[in-house]
């Protein structure tokens, strides 16, 4: 199979690609949402370079209320309140918004995703009836006040308290010390009228864990309400248009019915009740409804990555580095192997992650969009995947946008060429909505326990023994195109050496094997540690933390490759399919090349085969060179949205240089 | 040897370190310059967070003229004009300035390093007598106008022309088209009164290659002079205090004596003469005098890296991530293996690069500070090392500051915690004063030709055949502690498996072997290519570009390790020496671990030994954990200079949290 396939693909890949068909494949099921954004978001919504923080905040607040209705930005909300119950569409919308302006995307995410989403998911009908319409219309701006200064990741151990008093039938919301101050809260510094505040619920002298209240924080004139102290997080690396701030509460009285009480109720007399008995389980059920935030951030990171790659690839196709008098053709910077080594594997990974994200959004839409009860195992797998792909996409964005900035040289450092704001705005993504390293631990924990533990539990260390007990033999679960992938894997002959490294089945098998072997090793080491380090529970995990993180990374790589393979199988146009298949080869072999130390250590690659992969990757770069522009054009980012001076100037500049090469006495020869 | 050494080191490393002695070692020969800066640069000189571009430019311009005389910022200039002929001291001064404010450092570098340095190095006494004092005092601000919009790296092919007319005895300076516009020029947008402009000299109808002129660009009121068009590069990712701009010249008349004529003279009648016949050779001799710029940028990048690591390590020593109820001690984020894996190898690399940079500055000082004729081979080796260490330090800065920002979570994204400006300000360093990838090619070319080609020649591709002819068998040259290193290497027994991976001789041998093998392979492949691709000269080089870059990287790694080893040998205090030795182990083994794929492919490591290295690295992290704080304190950065809110707040916050753990019913146990 591999041979015939290899030849066919090669032929197609060098053939003509119908860009519209490639775009259709990438646009996927929510193409309508994407196109509505492309059509209705004009120059007015683009970032303004060099503005002050105050100007940016003012502009973004205003634009938030001026977003065209056609976008369906609040589409995740129920139809009866003005949404369209389209969870997937709302994620895609935020991805598109991210390509226009990341401050706008984050501000929208705070307002409708986090704040509005929490009111919807954690509140009940009386909250929905009173507030949802005003939240959707932007009449009430609000905050999602979870994170505290003292602890970022450990949200289960928040220090803010909210204590019920049956006498007054109110809650007393209080910040006991500075470390309990709510921090980095979007919409807090300038615009927020209300906040969903997370705090420890105490009633009748009993703690019931973290719950959420809807709390007014400013009056109509914008002044903080009594007992509420509002601070400004001040200038940030990026996202200047988002007004992050700090909130403290000095015994603020909150009416009983402002508890968002879907998962926990307090009666007039202070009696607590909940459909979920266990505090921790309830907390993670509450958090689970917020998985959309992570999916959005991952998608936004990839959207920004696509913008950066589009700029760098297009610039590399018009920019020369040196005169090359002896060359048989005009040499552009994209012609250099080293430049291709930077841009093309990153582009291939962006494609791979695109398919993984598309699949994730579809799964989220199915799990959360349905009316029936949610399958708990599926929900946890979804949360794990959202966490893993958020980490993968945001780290990939940080690395790739940085690389694109460098690939554009000094021009990449100028604000007018967009890359500085893409870099600065996305930079926080690796640590917000869950720190990436912590998220990878969650992924690993899910794999180690087969998703039997409460997934969201963020510590991963505190109850090491509990986890170690749960560790069991691994069965790899597939999320994409199960039967196709199993067929490809099982078609690989026993002896690897006989199979081409471009054989898809072999690539899949190698990814799978790495994950399984790492996971088995982690299980063995954790069990060994549990037996010998009983008095040092922290060390049981900590001594293998690097190994545990490697398990998660290998898992995400496999999920991503499988999604890419499934996406290619779903592609009808043969030329597009063939091109994607070469891109997939490059993705798979880049990952193997990057991890070749591991494969060699574990006898999965011979030295000869490992060296051969470097040659095959270089060959793929040559083969894909003519398609670089097509591949970024496939992202279908409107020229206006790129908002990049070097691309606007280039046609003119190029013309000038070809027409009159003033200092050079030599003729540049075009291929 | 390895065993006894290993044990001794271990004992010392866990012993008490006298911080003052560690600081003495790191401060090195220019300790006086470092201390003058620490003493005289107060809060006034620190960055202001959140200011506008205009505010930053105004402030930095003002501060530049207010720098305390004690710093000796213009010390590189000859004593007769107010300097102290201390080239090394001027590099160290700019490194210290970089730790205070990178805009200030770059602006000072433009004024005294590039602009003033060019007048001094390329001009002759009449230029020195008229201008140097005003340049040193900041009475005349000036630009270094080399880079053009159309071509960044290819400075030998500048498009600006300067044509001599014997009738008027003036030059006609002209920008023939937009691609020839001078771009990214510091001091141009706001402050520059004059510029050293690089252009193609034409006289009597003959071209003589690139020369430099001292050209007034603004009048006393700050208005552009006739024929000079000045543009503003606008907002940038960072370095807001530096006024980068664009210069175009429309037949500007430049008096004959404004040619900086040390390396090329034009007589009244237009006759050209030069002490260096060959145009290209002359050009690179001129450029060679500017090597200081690269050395400064490398040092500044490392200075900023040290600030970022100091912030991240100190924050990691007070910050907890999760409550760890079962733990036998209070767990801080620096206790996590994954956190140590991020911070400690980066810290070890920073140490290694510090010693390499110190050695480079000393060599520069010797080569350029002396009165005698410069040894050409030595000059080229120095230029190569400056290029390589500039690339290594600036990429390390970009990666490490990014990592430190992430290691501080959301706090790392706030301007008040310094990391955003460290990241944004240093970001351009990887592509200015020579794009890093281009610089690595230069390093490789020097190695391939034994520094026999004009080193500075920036293309590397254009005359491939020329280079290929020059390629010869490699003799490794050592820059540091030659006899010590040769002794260590030759003491390693023949069979690697018998030697501990912490044996210094083995580490040195492995680094050397990698460089040699890569270089031999590159030579072989280039020769093979030259034989078979005669009609495609570009492809001869381009097909092995990744290999050529790997040669350069391996070379820089070896030079760095050897400098570290030499620095340790020069350390008198045994406890400090032992600690540095462990840090050096971590550096060497991190590099080997990062390249283990190569070592395994080439049979330099067995799979078992490769796996063992991972374990040894993890062991070193544990061993160095108690010294993390000491290692950053060794950099001796004044607290004020860190200018970081989380460090100022932390003692108070920590106290609060220990004293009253409001939400936790558990007691945190201190180790």
Write out pLDDT tens, residues A191-239.
999 999 999 999 999 999 999 999 999 999 999 999 999 999 999 999 9
pLDDT, mean of residues B322-341: 79
Decide: B653 and B539 in contact? Cβ < 8 Å: no
pLDDT at residue A463 above 70?
Answer: no
Instruction: From the candidates A359, A381, A383, A433, give the one annotated as an active-site residue.
Output: A433
Q: In chain A, which residues have their Cβ closer than 8 Å to the Cβ of B160?
A: 663
pLDDT score at B556: 98
Nearest CA in chain B to A395: B406
CA distance A150 to B659: 14
Catalytically active residues of B, by annotation: 433
CA atoms within 13 A on the CB side of B514: 28
Please say whether the beta carbons of B361 and B299 come within 8 A. yes
Q: How far is A370 from chain B (nearest CA, A)?
A: 35
pLDDT above 70 for A464:
no
Residue A273 CB partners (closer than 8 Å, separation 6+): A264, A265, A267
* Contact partners, residue B39, CB within 8 Å, separation at least 6: B70
Q: Do A328 and B410 touch (CB under 8 A)?
A: no
Q: How many CB atoms lie within 10 A of CB A133?
A: 15
Cβ atoms B424, A438 nearer than 8 A: no
Question: CA-to-CA distance for B100 and B8, rounded, in angstroms?
Answer: 39
Domains of chain A: 26-141 (1.10.540.10), 143-277 (2.40.110.10), 290-633 (1.20.140.10)
Q: Do A320 and B151 touch (CB under 8 A)?
A: yes
> What pLDDT band is residue B474 in, cutting at 50, 70 and 90?
low
Strand A194-203 and strand A161-165: pairing? parallel
Measured between alpha carbons, how far is A189 from A16 in angstroms, rounded to an integer?
53
What pLDDT shows up at residue A494?
A: 73
Interface probe for A, chosen from B597, B598, B606, B657 (most Cβ of A below 10 Å), is B597
- The residue ranking higher by pLDDT, A669 or B404, is B404
Contacts of B611 in chain A (CB under 8 A): 601
- pLDDT confidence band for B457 (50 / 70 / 90): very low
Q: What is the 3-state secondary structure (H, E, C) of B263-314?
A: CCEECCCCCEECCCCCHHHHHHHHHHCCHHHHHHHHHHHHHHHHHHHHHHHH
Q: State the Cα–Cα distance between residues B570 and B353, nearest whole angstrom.
A: 16
CA distance B198 to chain A (A): 13
CA distance A102 to A95: 9
Most A CBs within 10 Å: which of B521, B662, B666, B670, as the mutation test of the A interface?
B662
Compare all CA atoms of chain B with the CA of A597 and give the residue at the minimum distance: B597
A400 half-sphere exposure, CB direction, 13 A CA radius:
30
The pLDDT of residue A474 = 54
Q: Which chain A residues touch B429 with a CB distance below 8 Å?
A: none
Q: 3-state DSSP: chain B helix, strand, coil percent, rounded to 5? A: 60, 10, 30
Pick from B413, B414, B431: which is nearest to A410 by CB? B431
- The percent of residues above 70 in pLDDT, for chain B, comes to 88
**Pairs of CB atoms within 8 A across A/B:** 303
pLDDT of A373 > 80? The answer is no
Paired residues of B265 in beta bridges: B273
Q: Grade residue B472 by pLDDT with cuts at 50, 70 and 90.
A: low
Helices (H), B474-571: 482-490, 504-532, 537-542, 545-569
**Per-residue confidence (pLDDT) for residue A663, from 0 to 100:** 31
Q: How far is CA A490 from the centre of its chain?
A: 32
Which of B54, B601, B666 is the mutation pick for testing A, counting most A CBs within 10 A?
Answer: B601
Distance CA(A506)–CA(A560), nearest Å, equals 16
Give the C-alpha distances (Å, rounded to integers) separating B314 from B336, B342, B431, B647: 14, 14, 30, 7
Q: Contact A537/B337, CB-based, under 8 Å?
A: no
B-chain CB neighbours of A424 within 8 Å are 237, 420, 424
Q: Supply the DSSP symbol for B353.
A: H
- The H-or-E segment that residue A200 falls in is strand A194-203
Residue B659 has pLDDT above 50, yes or no: no
pLDDT of A456 reads 40
The pLDDT of residue A380 is: 85
pLDDT at A662: 30
If you average pLDDT over residues A446-465, what whole number do you get?
Answer: 56
Residue B452, both tokens: 């026999």
ipTM of the shown complex: 0.93
Query: What is the nearest CA distance from B428 to chain A, expressed in angstroms?
Result: 6
Q: What is the mean pLDDT of residues B372-383?
A: 81
Asked if A610 lies within 8 A of B602 by C-beta distance, the reply is: no
Per-residue pLDDT of B58-70, as tens digits, reads 999 999 999 998 8
Which of chain A's residues have a Cβ under 8 Å away from the Cβ of B335? 538, 542
pLDDT at B485 over 50: yes
Instruction: Answer for the pair B562, B508: CB distance below 8 angstroms, yes or no.
Output: yes
* Chain A residues within an 8 Å CB radius of B49: 234-235
Segment A576-585, tens digit of pLDDT: 999 999 999 9
pLDDT in tens, A505-562: 999 999 999 999 999 999 889 888 888 887 787 888 899 999 999 999 999 999 999 9
**Beta pairing class for B170-174 and B161-165:** antiparallel
- Local confidence band at B181 (pLDDT 50, 70, 90 cut-offs): very high
């Amino acid at each position: 199979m591999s041979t015939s396939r290899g030849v066919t693909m090669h032929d197609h890949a060098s053939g003509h690609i119908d860009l519209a068909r490639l775009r259709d494949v990438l646009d996927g099921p929510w193409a309508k949402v994407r196109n509505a954004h492309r059509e209705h978001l004009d120059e007015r919504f683009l970032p303004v370079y060099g503005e002050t923080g105050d100007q940016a905040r003012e502009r973004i607040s205003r634009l938030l209320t001026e977003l065209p209705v056609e976008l369906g930005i609040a589409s995740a909300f129920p139809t009866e309140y003005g949404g369209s119950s389209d969870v997937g569409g709302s994620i895609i919308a935020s991805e598109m918004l991210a390509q226009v302006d990341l401050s706008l995307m984050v501000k929208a995410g705070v307002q409708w995703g986090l704040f509005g989403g929490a009111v919807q998911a954690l509140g009940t009908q009386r909250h929905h009836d009173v507030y949802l319409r005003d939240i959707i219309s932007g009449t009430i701006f609000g905050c999602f006040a979870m994170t505290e200064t003292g602890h970022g990741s450990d949200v289960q151990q928040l220090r803010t308290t909210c204590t019920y008093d049956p006498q007054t039938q109110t809650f007393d919301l209080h910040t006991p010390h500075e470390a309990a101050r709510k921090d980095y809260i979007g919409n807090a510094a300038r615009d927020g009228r209300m906040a969903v505040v997370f705090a420890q619920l105490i009633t009748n002298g009993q703690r019931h864990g973290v719950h959420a209240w809807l709390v007014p924080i400013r009056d109509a004139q914008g002044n903080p309400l009594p007992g509420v102290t509002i601070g400004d997080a001040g200038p940030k690396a990026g996202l200047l248009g988002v007004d992050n701030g700090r909130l403290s509460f000095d015994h603020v009285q909150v009416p009983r019915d402002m508890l968002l009480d879907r998962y926990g109720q307090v009666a007039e007399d202070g009696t607590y009740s909940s459909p979920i008995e266990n505090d921790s389980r309830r907390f993670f059920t509450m958090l689970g409804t917020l998985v959309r935030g992570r999916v959005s951030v991952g998608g936004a990171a990839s959207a920004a990555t696509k913008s950066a790659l589009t700029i760098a690839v297009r610039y590399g196709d018009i920019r020369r580095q040196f005169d090359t008098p002896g060359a048989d053709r005009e040499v552009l910077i994209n012609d250099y192997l080293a430049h291709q080594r930077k841009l093309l594997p990153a582009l291939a990974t962006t494609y791979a992650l695109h398919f993984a994200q598309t699949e994730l959004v579809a799964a989220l839409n199915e799990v959360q969009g349905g009316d029936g009860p949610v399958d708990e195992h599926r929900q946890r797998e979804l949360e794990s995947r959202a966490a893993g792909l958020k980490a993968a996409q945001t780290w990939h964005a940080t690395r790739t946008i940085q690389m694109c900035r460098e690939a554009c040289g000094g021009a990449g450092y100028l604000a007018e060429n967009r890359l500085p704001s893409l870099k600065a705005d996305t930079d926080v993504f690796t640590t917000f909505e869950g720190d990436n390293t912590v998220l990878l631990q969650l992924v690993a924990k899910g794999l180690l326990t087969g998703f039997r533990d409460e997934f969201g539990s963020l510590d991963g260390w505190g109850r090491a023994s509990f986890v170690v007990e749960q560790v069991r033999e691994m069965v790899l679960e597939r999320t994409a195109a199960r039967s196709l992938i199993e067929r490809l894997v099982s078609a690989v002959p026993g002896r690897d050496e006989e199979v081409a490294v471009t054989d898809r089945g072999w690539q899949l098998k190698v990814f799978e094997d790495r994950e399984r072997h790492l996971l088995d090793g982690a299980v063995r080491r954790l069990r060994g540690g549990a037996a010998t380090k009983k008095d040092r529970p922290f060390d049981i995990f900590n001594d293998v933390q690097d190994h545990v993180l490697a398990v998660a990374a290998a898992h995400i790589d496999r999920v991503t490759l499988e999604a890419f393979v499934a996406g290619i199988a779903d592609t009808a146009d043969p030329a597009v399919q063939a091109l994607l298949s070469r891109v997939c080869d490059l993705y798979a072999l880049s990952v193997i090349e990057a991890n070749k130390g591991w494969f060699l250590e574990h006898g999965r690659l011979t030295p000869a085969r490992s060296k051969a992969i470097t040659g095959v990757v270089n060959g793929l770069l040559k083969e894909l060179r003519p398609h670089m522009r097509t591949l970024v054009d496939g992202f279908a980012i409107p020229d206006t949205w790129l908002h990049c001076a070097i691309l606007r100037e280039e046609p003119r500049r190029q013309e000038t240089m070809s027409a009159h090469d003033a200092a050079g006495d030599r003729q540049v020869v075009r291929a």
